[in-house]
Amino acid sequence: MSGAPRADRFLRLPEVLKRSGLTRSTLYRKIEEGTFPRQVTLGLRCIGWRESELNRWVESPSSYRQPEMSDTG
């Protein structure tokens, strides 16, 4: 079966916690350390995580590092 690549989904916090097996506090600590994917703002009071990034972390949590983000603003 061929075709266009599947669009990335955004997962909400409860699903991220379930898939990762992490507690909320550990998840946010790992984000600050750069060892877990950063959340994406989806709306005024709405955040999510890219499913593809979470899957990459699940495949190899001990070697995951967030890509360097340039913040020149």
Q: Give residue for tokens 């190899």.
A: 60
Handedness of CA 29, 67, 8, 59 (dihedral sign): negative
- What is the token pair recorded at 1? 């079966």
pLDDT higher than threshold 50 for residue 73 = no
CB 20 within 8 A of CB 57: yes
The more confident residue out of 30 and 70 is 30
Least confidently predicted of 5-9, 20-24, 34-38, 67-71: 67-71
